[in-house]
Amino acid sequence: MSDEHHKSELISLVEELMADIDSKPLHPKNKVLLYSRYLLSKLSWHFTVSSVSKTWVTENIDSKVNSYIRKWLDIPISGTLSTVFLTRNKFGLSICPPSVKFIQCQTVLRKALKTSPNEAINDLWKATSNSKNIQYDVYNSTKQVLKDFRSGQEDKLHTQLTCQGSFFTNITKFSLSQLTKIWSACQSNLPKNIFNFTVRYINNSLPTRQNLARWGLSPTSDCSRCLAPETLLHVVAGCQSYLERFTWRHDSVLNFLATSLQTVSGSHLYVDLPGYKSPSSIITGDTYRPDLLLSTSTGTLYIVELTVGFESNLQKNIERQNIKI
């Protein structure tokens, strides 16, 4: 087929399959899963044998796919997809755009030409080692392609995106690596609306007043209650007019954890709530007071401190807990 035939076939195929996935009454995580495991595999043959450029794939295929992913996850056009493209242990969804699949397919093709036992095929590799193809010869494997892509997305979050990047830096810097698997498992079991909320929370694209003003949908970025800038941190834990609400939310979650942990046999539970033994009076004193302590029969001590993902005092709290331990 000619390049034009390939391009026409690719566009039609992507539009048909993405529309079909979109029409299914599925959870967003399952739509993303279908895209990753089914659609990308359907594109592999075209991406391997066609001589279309990566730029064309990015402009024509990535854009179509990204619009559907944004729709499924409720991410506005101003919100980055960089967090979504990261691995699950970096709070992403472990997916990649078609252009990355294209590079992987081209890498496989170039390596097959280069390492073929047939000298004529080797000559074909040499003859086609031009400026267009040499960019794929630098990769040793498809895993390296994916690793470089995700590394680039992470760098973009850390250095280029002021608002979304600062939040991502915060949660990746202070999150515990052993808990990321738990996060991924819990997130995948959430209802659609809450699942999408967590995705948008992580990339800071929720409709706060600050974001709405940036998107041209609000005349002001100030909170309607206290007139301070309504950032994500302000909404979840910073508005002085909602301190009682924040306390109620904190205590409700803590009470749920305490009720669940009461069933642990042979353990001693200390909770900073009425009706429980206080951690400050029993173990830590008033200076360092965690929300919950659980001492097990094996001599292990678990310390729980509830917080929010975008808390400005996160570093101070961690240092305080380290001193306490």
pLDDT at 35: 97
pLDDT at 315: 54
Q: What is the pTM of this model?
A: 0.81
Q: 3-state DSSP call for residue 25?
A: coil
pLDDT at 282: 64
pLDDT at 285: 62
Tell me how far CA of residue 307 lies from CA of 149, 151, 324, in angstroms.
32, 28, 17
Instruction: Taking the CA atoms of 239, 279, 299 and 265 in sequence, report the sign of the dihedral they define.
Output: negative
Per-domain residue ranges for the chain?
A: 3-159, 207-238, 264-324
**Helix-strand-coil split of the chain, %, nearest 5:** 65, 5, 30
Q: How far apart are CA 18 and CA 302, in angstroms?
A: 46
Low-confidence ranges of the chain (pLDDT < 50): 318, 320-325
Task: Give the sheet arrangement for strand 292-295, strand by strand.
Answer: 268-271, 292-295, 301-304
pLDDT in tens, 310-325: 655 555 554 544 444 3
pLDDT at 1: 59
Q: How far apart are CA 32 and CA 39, in angstroms?
A: 10
Q: Any idea what DSSP says for residue 290?
A: -
pLDDT at 284: 58
- SS3 string, 169-198, reads HHHHHHCCHHHHHHHHHHHHCCCHHHHHHH
pLDDT in tens, 126-150: 888 877 778 888 898 999 999 999 9
